[in-house]
Amino acid sequence: MLFEDDYLAIIHKPAGILVSGNHFKTIANALIQNLKQSTLEDATQPQPVHRLDFPTTGILLVGKTSSSIRALNKLFEDRAIKKTYYAVTIGKMKPEGSITTEVDGKPCKSNYKVHQTVPSERFGYLNLVELEPFTGRRHQLRKHLSDLGNPILGDKDYGIESLILNGKGLYLHAYSLKFVHPFTKEEMYLKDDFTLNFKKIFNTLEVGEIN
């Protein structure tokens, strides 16, 4: 748990669990047992207000009341919530840039910035890349990095077949959320620490070094 009040919660999503859907084991189904019941009149079953892919780890925003779920959805629609991701990518990259290739026939944009690069015998180079999506298309970051020629390590769907890393998961982490709380008007800036698989590659990695 990263944050919780009567209106909303911000939690860590582990890899290998669906956020929601027609499955018993989902984040949505687990929320009732793991969050405090809201004391507000329009309290409802807690509900994630955005998605993270099945293999992606990181920060997830949850509404706990009907009005909060509506307000948070509106913030996402208005692009008033800044999401930052980190990925480990394969190959040599420019220090920073924008990717604007279409996803599912729709225009979209992601900015990237390389924070660290380490040599790799198998992959040539591995990069710690900060990512900021400006749109929210399905698999946008994964597709954009693949289009750039620098797929995410462990990406079985959009990676280079000879460089697929089996059994280690996808190296994509939803790191932070920044927004104004729709009810308390507090400036919210929450971070979810890097997972162990990131730290094993970049052994000097500490949260204080980023942002």
| Residues identified as active-site | 53
125/144 Cα distance (integer angstroms): 18
Token pair for 157: 């769907």
* Element holding 197 (H helix, E strand): helix 196-201
SS3 annotation, 124-144: EEEEEEEEEECCCCCCHHHHH
Helix (H, G, I), strand (E, B) or coil at 198: helix
Token pair for 128: 């710690």
What amino acid occupies position 6? D
SS3 annotation, 8-66: EEEEEECCCCECCCCCCCEHHHHHHHHCCCCCCCCEEEEEECCCCCCCCEEEEEEEEEH
Helix (H, G, I), strand (E, B) or coil at 87: strand
Residue 179: phi and psi, rounded to 5, are -165, 170
